[in-house]
Structure 1
Amino acid sequence: MPRVVIFLAAALLATSAHITPASAQGADVTDLDPSGQIVPLPSVKILAPEDLTSGITRRFFGRIAARETVDLSFEVGGRLVMLPVVEGETIPQGSVVAALDTENFERAVARAELTLEQTRRESRRAEQLAQSNVTSAVRAEDAATARDLAEVALRDARDDLEDATLRTPFTALVAERIAANFTNVSPGQPILRLHDMSEIRVQIDVPERLFLSGIPPEAVRFTGSVPQAAGPIPLQLAEYEAQTEAIGQTFLVSLTLPDSNIPNLIPGASMTVTATVDVDYAQPGRALPATALLLGEDRTASVMIFEPDGGAADRGTVHVRPVELLSLAGTDLRVTGLAKDALVVGAGVHLLRDGQKVRRYTGLSVEE
């Protein structure tokens, strides 16, 4: 080999041997790979201690509902001649919302009045003849019965005439016009669908495990949130169906909305409902996601605890800590055996080792 090449190779080796310690100066030995290059500290997501004074919370998808939703119909049949309402309109209680052609009903009332007048005359005549022993008392009684039947027929005719006009039984929001104007309708056929908005309700589906957890209703505080309201809306428990839904094994719970001045709260609209359980009834332990748990072959559980270094809050060391795993309601995982101020690694724990140095994940950043 030429002497020049040997000289250059020896010079390069000496230079690299001189530079490598300088580049690793101040770095921990465990932060270097076998080639001597610095390995960046892994970034981990840290779960801060939960607020133990706020209890536990659940969020549900809620649907706005009216206190009652009814389909109005006539008790008599006829031709629909008036349907003045508009869908989405709010109508005061007692307002006329539909009417049938009343000509036939008015004639029926007139016939019933004439019949009643005739039977009254016959009843008086038969009573006078019975007192004079000209006719039998049985005939007088039959005449009185015919008079009474005529009175009942007149009341029926007047009721039919009144039933030919539909009035709203409450201050209502018109949901749907089911029948069309100028059509013949039969008794009991739905004409209008109305919402009773005197009390606005929110309905949520509560899973069976939560519903039967033994927590009293007075220990749960409900609040709702909608885009058109600035802050949380207080809700109160109204009632619940004492049977489960056919799909999902859930109970339908109805909550009342005391503040009815919030705009655009119509049946079918959505609302996010938050249920907060009083801390006295909260489940023991600390809730953690499944990604924060290390499960052993013997079904023991442990977590990774982050301990910050002296002056650097975003850098530290992780250590394995055994915990007790439980799930009383069957809806979340809770652990016991941790200090209240313990910082737990939330994900990727299977990629870390006990005593490894890491840095806290604080979000993505772009450097120019």
Structure 2
Amino acid sequence: MTTNRFALRPTVLFSAAMLPLMSACSNAPAPDRDATPLAPAVSVSVETVASGTNADPVTATGTFGSRDEIPLAFKIGGIVSRVLVDEGATVQRGQLLASLDLREINAAVDKAQVGFDKAQRDQARVQRLAADSVATLAQLQDATSALNAARSDLVTATVNREYATIVAPEGGIVLQRLATAGSNVSPGTPIMLLGGTRRGRVLRVGLPDRDALRVQLGDAATVHFDALPTRTFTGRVQLVGRSADPRTGTYAVEITVSGADALPSGLVGSVSIAARSSTGGGKRGASVSVDALLEADRDSATVYLVAATREAPGDLIAQAKRVRVRGVSGDRVMIEGLAPDARLVTRGAAYVTPGARVRIVTTDTLAAALKASAVTRTAVLP
């Protein structure tokens, strides 16, 4: 069998149109075998940090009432003679509210008056005798001391009689009536509770330490009452306690409520306080997505910021930065240490390394890419 010597050789046919292309390829420089190919950019979504971004609102539940709730009592004990007002009554400053039986108290005043008059006569007589050198200086001093003591006894009895009646120290509303006529009360026993109107009415709430540090005087608030579900009231923080209640561990906060003067005391209300972003020490903070935090350790964590490169302004790289964590609320985190208008990597931060190239995409696009990547990894598993 005879083998054709051309049968095993490959045949290449050239056309006239291919000649210029071959000539160009022959003149092209050889590829650089030592050049390192650029790593592909990591797709991420970002969030711009606004200057003075507010934290999530502080919410709490409390009781509405007068800012000054004054327990009224007699200075001395005795039998209650009259209680002239009932719960819910509106009273004016100086109005008589209750009194004790004054017979015993008036007798004590009369006795003190008699003692003072006698001491005054005795001192005058000894003073005349001392002027004639009949009484000694010691006798005159003793008489003068007795007069001063009798005067003090009279003042005490008179003050006790004055405080055997209760008058309204300011205008307000009687919140509670705690005694009736005929009751035998001891000194200082509350007879009624007066809600004063001089300093207005407030919603009192108790906040844990983390929220109390975020609230400041003047912060705006929105108030809703359970009894009036269709109405919304506005207010402002008027007081922030500086010491915790030893029983509950919370800090007292008072919110003035506009347009609520006609509401009864004791209503339960919920408040949402627009806490400012400034925190202890006057620093500014920002509320960002929890997805941005990496390598959290107690009150600090790492985040990645997006910045342009100097060599190619169009290229973006990730820069790691350590920040301070002030608090967490849901899927938002309050942090410090970021400059205003900084671009912060949120979704995709776990795939970024310091100095890595990044490509900004929308959150939906990134979610689809991550899902496709997960499907691909699952498909190639043995």
Is the alpha carbon distance of 1:327 and 1:87 closer, same or farther for their aligned partners in structure 2, counting shifts above 3 Å?
A: farther
How far apart in 1 are the matches of 2:215 and 2:73?
42
- Any residues of structure 2 matched to 1:131-210 within 5 Å, and which? 131-197=131-197, 198-210=199-211
Distance 2:114 2:150 in 1: 9
User: Secondary structure at the residue paired with 1:115?
Assistant: helix
Secondary structure of 1:110's counterpart equals helix
Match of 2:288 in 1: 285
In 2: Cα distance, 1:51 partner to 1:341 partner: 17
- Which residues in structure 2 correspond to 1:349-368 (within 5 Å)? 353-354=371-372
One-letter identity of the residue aligned with 2:216: P
Q: State the 1:187 CA deviation.
A: 1.0
Residue 162 of structure 1, CA deviation: 0.7
Post-superposition offset of 1:113: 2.0
Once the 2 structures are TM-superposed, how far is the Cα of residue 270 of structure 1 from its aligned partner? 1.1
TM-aligned CA distance change 1:111 to 1:334, over 3 Å: closer
Q: Counterpart of 2:286 in 1: which secondary structure?
A: coil
Q: 2:72·2:193 contact (CA, 8 Å) conserved in 1?
A: yes
Cα distance in 1, alignment partners of residues 215 and 80 from structure 2: 52
> Residue 328 of structure 1: which of 309, 314, 325 is its match?
325
* 2:80 equivalent to 1:80: yes
Question: Aligned-residue CA RMSD in angstroms?
Answer: 4.1
Q: Amino acid of the residue matched to residue 129 of structure 1?
A: L
Please state how far the C-alpha of 1:273 moved relative to its aligned partner.
2.3
1-structure distance, mates of 2:195, 2:87: 11
Matched residue SS, 1:354? helix
> What is the CA-CA distance between 1:52 and the residue it aligns to?
6.4
Change (3 A) 1:211 1:114: closer
Stretches (4+) displaced over 6 A: 49-54
Would you say the 8 A contact 2:82–2:180 is kept in 1?
Answer: no
Specify the code of the residue in structure 2 equivalent to 1:117: D
Whole-Å Cα distance in 2 between the matches of residues 344 and 264 of structure 1? 49
Number of residue equivalences: 268
Q: Is the 8 A contact 1:200 1:260 kept in 2?
A: no
Q: Tell me which amino acid in the other structure corresponds to 2:196.
A: D
1:319 is aligned to none
Shift in Å, 1:161: 1.1
2:204 and 2:254 in contact (8 A); partners too = yes
Letter in 2 for 1:200: R
Return the offset for 1:68. 2.6
**Percent of paired sites with the same residue:** 20
Does the aligned pair in 2 maintain the 1:50–1:286 contact within 8 Å? Answer: no
Structure (1 or 2) with the larger CA radius of gyration: 2
Amino acid at match of 1:73: A
CA contact (8 A) 1:96 1:167 kept: yes
For 2:130 and 2:269, the matched residues in 1 are separated by 76
When the two structures are superposed, what TM-score results if normalisation uses the length of structure 1? 0.60
C-alpha distance 189-117 of structure 1, shift in aligned 2 (>3 A): same
1:91 alignment counterpart: 91
Deviation at 1:159, TM superposition (A): 1.0
In the TM superposition, what is the alpha-carbon distance from 1:163 to its structure 2 partner?
1.2
Q: CA deviation at 1:87?
A: 0.8
TM-score by length of 2: 0.58
- Please report how far the alpha carbon of residue 237 of structure 1 lies from its aligned counterpart in structure 2 after TM superposition: 3.8
Secondary structure at the aligned position of 2:274 is classed as strand
- Tell me the CA shift for residue 226 of structure 1: 3.0
Separation in structure 2 between the aligned mates of residue 203 and residue 342 of structure 1, nearest angstrom: 44
Whole-angstrom distance in 1 between the partners of 2:224 and 2:215? 27
Q: CA offsets, 1:126-177, max 9 Å, x none? A: 1212222233232222222222222111111111111111112222321211
CA distance in 2, matches of 1:338, 1:100: 72
Matches within 5 A, 1:1-368: 55-63=54-62, 64-197=64-197, 198-212=199-213, 217=216, 221-226=219-224, 232-243=233-244, 246-247=247-248, 250-257=250-257, 259=258, 262-264=261-263, 266-278=265-277, 281-286=284-289, 328-332=325-329, 333-334=331-332, 336-338=344-346, 342=362, 353-354=371-372
Aligned mates of 2:163, 2:102 — CA distance in 1: 10
In the alignment, the residues of structure 2 paired with residue 51 and residue 265 of structure 1 have an alpha-carbon distance, to the nearest angstrom, of 44
Residues 260 and 106 (structure 1), Cα distance of their counterparts in 2 relative to 1, 3 Å cut: farther
Instruction: Name the CA distance, whole Å, in 2 between partners of 1:233 and 1:115.
Output: 62
Query: C-alpha distance in 2, partners of 1:278/1:104?
Result: 63
Are the aligned partners of 1:226 and 1:272 in contact in 2 as well (CA < 8 Å)? Answer: yes
Q: Is the 8 A contact 1:74 1:189 kept in 2?
A: yes
Distance 1:51 1:260, change over 3 A: farther
Q: Deviations over 1:62-100 (max 9, x none)?
A: 322432323221111111011111112222222211100
Deviates more, 1:332-341 or 1:201-210: 332-341
- Kindly state the Cα deviation for residue 252 of structure 1 after the two structures are TM-superposed: 2.8
Structure 1: gaps of 5 or more residues? 1-48, 289-323, 357-368
Match in the other structure for 1:31: none
Mark the CA change 1:74 to 1:341 in structure 2 (over 3 Å): closer, same or farther: farther
Cα distance in 2, alignment partners of residues 185 and 92 from structure 1: 25
In structure 2, relative to structure 1, the CA distance for the partners of 1:95 and 1:243 (3 Å cut) is: same
1:178–1:190 contact (8 Å) kept in structure 2: yes
Provide the secondary structure at the position in 2 that maps to 1:225. strand
Distance in 1 of aligned mates of 2:224 and 2:262: 10
Q: CA deviation at 1:234?
A: 3.2
SS at match of 1:236: strand
